[in-house]
């Protein structure tokens, strides 16, 4: 669940869905859903969904799709990486109360082994997370080549509604857009085991401080 000023504001679900084929290649399918509840929606409604497809063998992302439905904006966003040509393609159509309707299309050169802004969260699970260690890998998004950096801060025993977990706390640094754009540190808690489930996310954002707390855990892939 997501809390805002200690009130339940909605839910953030991170899912590893069954593998599918993308252009004949077995691929992971990851999905993130953010949805405000009925009370919080009176102030700011959020119904966002992002899905990305990642090559099962080399963990390189093919594409992602994002649907944004919020009080102040609607958007459909798609991006595709061509690994043979090292080209990224980005398409966006956005309607906002402040700026009206906008569309854009971008093609740019991407760095080898880049993740996208959605796959990067799941890609973290492939590292050995040792306190004091620093992570860095390339991320390509919206015509830019940036670096996802992460500091492994500490190990921590975390109590949640579904149990107590041994966790590792990471402070990532990366860029995202929209109302959920961070304005300060982001902290992510992952279970300190092989599965590395994300069990808590905490961040200051444009509309305050938001905390994602574990409300359920269904082991899958």
Q: What percent of the chain is modeled with pLDDT above 90?
A: 48
Whole-number pLDDT of residue 180:
39
Q: What HEC string does 56-118 produce? A: CCCCCEEEEEEEEEECCEEEEEEEEEECCCCEEEEEEEEEECCCEEEEEEEEEECCCCCECCC
Whole-number pLDDT of residue 63:
94
Compare 90 and 186 and report the one with higher pLDDT.
90
Whole-number pLDDT of residue 1:
54
Phi-psi group of 40: left, alpha or beta (phi > 0 → left; psi -120 to 50 → alpha; rest → beta): alpha
Q: Which residues contact 147 (CB under 8 A, 6 or more apart)?
A: 136, 137, 138, 139
Q: What is the pLDDT of residues 137-190, one digit of tens each?
A: 999 999 999 888 889 999 999 988 778 999 999 988 765 544 434 446 788 899
Compare 209 and 4 and report the one with higher pLDDT.
209
Phi-psi group of 177: left, alpha or beta (phi > 0 → left; psi -120 to 50 → alpha; rest → beta): beta
Compare 161 and 32 and report the one with higher pLDDT.
32
Give the mean model confidence (pLDDT) for residues 213-220: 54
Whole-number pLDDT of residue 183:
46
> How does residue 9 score in pLDDT terms, banded at 50, 70 and 90?
low
Whole-number pLDDT of residue 106:
96
């Amino acid at each position: 669940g997501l809390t805002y000023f200690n009130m339940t504001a909605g839910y953030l679900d991170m899912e590893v869905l069954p593998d599918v084929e993308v252009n004949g290649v077995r691929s992971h399918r990851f999905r993130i859903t953010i949805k405000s509840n009925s009370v919080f929606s009176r102030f700011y409604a959020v119904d966002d969904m992002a899905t990305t497809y990642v090559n099962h063998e080399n963990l390189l992302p093919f594409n992602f799709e994002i649907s944004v439905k919020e009080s102040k904006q609607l958007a459909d966003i798609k991006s595709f990486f061509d690994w043979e040509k090292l080209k990224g393609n980005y398409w966006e159509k956005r309607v906002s109360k402040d700026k009206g309707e906008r569309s854009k299309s971008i093609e740019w050169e991407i760095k080898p082994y880049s993740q996208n802004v959605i796959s990067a969260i799941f890609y973290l699970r492939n590292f050995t997370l040792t306190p004091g260690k620093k992570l860095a890998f390339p991320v390509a998004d919206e015509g830019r080549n940036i670096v996802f950096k992460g500091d492994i801060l500490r190990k921590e025993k975390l109590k949640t509604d579904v149990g107590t977990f041994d966790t590792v706390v990471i402070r990532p640094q990366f860029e995202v857009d929209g109302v959920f754009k961070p304005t300060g540190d982001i902290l992510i808690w992952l279970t300190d085991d092989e599965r590395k489930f994300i069990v808590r996310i905490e961040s200051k954002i444009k509309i305050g401080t938001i905390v994602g707390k574990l409300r359920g855990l269904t082991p899958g892939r």
